[in-house]
Amino acid sequence: MFMADITGVRVLYTGDYSREEDCHLCAAEIPQFSLYFNSEKMEKTIRRLAEKTLEVGESVSGFLVKKAFICQIMALDDLHVFSQLSTENISQRITIAYNGAFGVLKHRLKQIFESVESLLDEESEGPAFRVHEWLTVKYESEKHISLHWRSDPIRDMVFDSVIISILLILILITSYC
């Protein structure tokens, strides 16, 4: 289907690929109209954020929750009241088979990361150290170490790089034996 405009006469062509003769329709007259849009956006603050009246240009900190085309800005503490979302902290722990020297691991991680601090762990009473104040590496036995961290995207990336370092050390140890 297409529109042809020949010397001021507009014709809508519809070809249906049948053996019947093609149908030519005149174009419909469409009245002109204009649309105007307001480009301002408004969101509603609720509960704790709505307690204080904001001045023009003043910023607000919270979560923008969009549900059924309605936007609301709310504080983290109010998230569970007005939505089915909740916030959680996940503590993770993994135990890895590691038969290398614990000091070698600490030395290698000091070469990679800015902050590697020694710790005295009261629970296992064995050597331990912390990488970037987030990830704790504990010496569990001659053949095992454990890693502890609170999960979030950045800490998980630090954990991934520590795991890769441990695996590379293990590969080097086994290749020399």
Task: Check residue 8 and report its DSSP letter.
Answer: T
71 contacts 65 by C-beta, under 8 angstroms: yes
- Whole-prediction pTM: 0.52
- Determine the pLDDT at residue 18: 61
pLDDT digits (tens, 9 = 90+) for 32-87: 767 676 666 666 677 777 777 777 777 777 777 777 777 777 777 777 776 676 66
What's the token pair of residue 76?
A: 């983290």
> Which stretch of 9-23, 92-106, 129-143 has the lowest confidence by average pLDDT?
9-23
For tokens 């695996």, the residue is 167
Nearest to 50 by CA among 18, 16, 82: 82
For tokens 């590697």, the residue is 116
> Strand pairing of 116-120 and 91-97?
unpaired
Helix (H) or strand (E) holding 80: helix 79-82
